[in-house]
Amino acid sequence: MTRVCLVGDDDVNLRYELLSRETAREALATYDLREPFANAVGVETVSLGSAVALLNDLEWYLVRFVDEAMVLEPSVSDDEWLSRDLATAIRDDEVGPEESARYLKVYGLVGPDDGDGPTEGDGPRARDGPGTAESTGGGDTGTGDRDGTGAGDTHEERGAGDTRGEGEAGGDAGPPELVEPMFVTRTGPDIPDYDLREVDGTVVERVTEAEFGA
């Protein structure tokens, strides 16, 4: 399965923004929503192509509410995410999987005692050093009813697969938080250590050369 992860902007509650809009809520009803990271929404799709198509369908929401959209494609890497642009390039055969590993965006991963976000949740496999955490991704939606919010959406939101992470025991533990990304270039089997702050682990995202230089 290919995973999609949408990480919300700091000033929004991403899950609420998606589920409070009828079009997004109806599309997300086909998925089991997870929260792999703080303020993130994750789903599983059947292929890289369907993951990219999902992100394209969510374009209106990505522009307004999402800080980062990532794809985890097992045929490329079991534990390194792809940026949306890189996932699209691989799907379109513009970049080969073996050519995708040079440019990296490495996030720190912290729990509630180290940052402002909650702790462990479902999906991520945090590692010390520049590894990555397995997690889950976005939601499927169309373009209608884009700025409407429904006050009476409680029942429908529950029907949209609004589940918490498997690691959240009774709400006492939440998902880890992604913090300041560090851009690095892979020149060998190992990548530089994350050194922007003390972290519990790291999450690696492969990006395009254009994104790396932006």
Strand 66-72 and strand 177-185: the pairing is: unpaired
Spell out the domain ranges in the chain.
2-99+122-173
Report the predicted TM-score, pTM, of the whole model to 2 decimal places. 0.74
Does residue 143 have a pLDDT over 70?
Answer: no
DSSP 13: -
- Residue 19: pLDDT band with limits 50, 70, 90: very high
User: Which range (73-82, 86-95, 138-147, 169-178) has the least confidence?
Assistant: 138-147
For residue range 34-80, list pLDDT tens digits in order. 999 999 999 999 999 999 998 998 899 999 999 999 999 999 999 99
pLDDT, residue 112, reads 67
Buried b / exposed e over 124-142, threshold 16 CB at 10 Å, is: bebbeebbbbbbbbbbbbe
Q: What stretch of H or E contains 210? A: helix 209-213
Q: Please state, in angstroms and rounded to a whole number, the distance separating the CA atoms of residues 71 and 129.
A: 21
For residue range 88-141, list pLDDT tens digits in order. 999 999 999 999 999 999 999 999 665 544 333 343 334 443 333 333 333 333
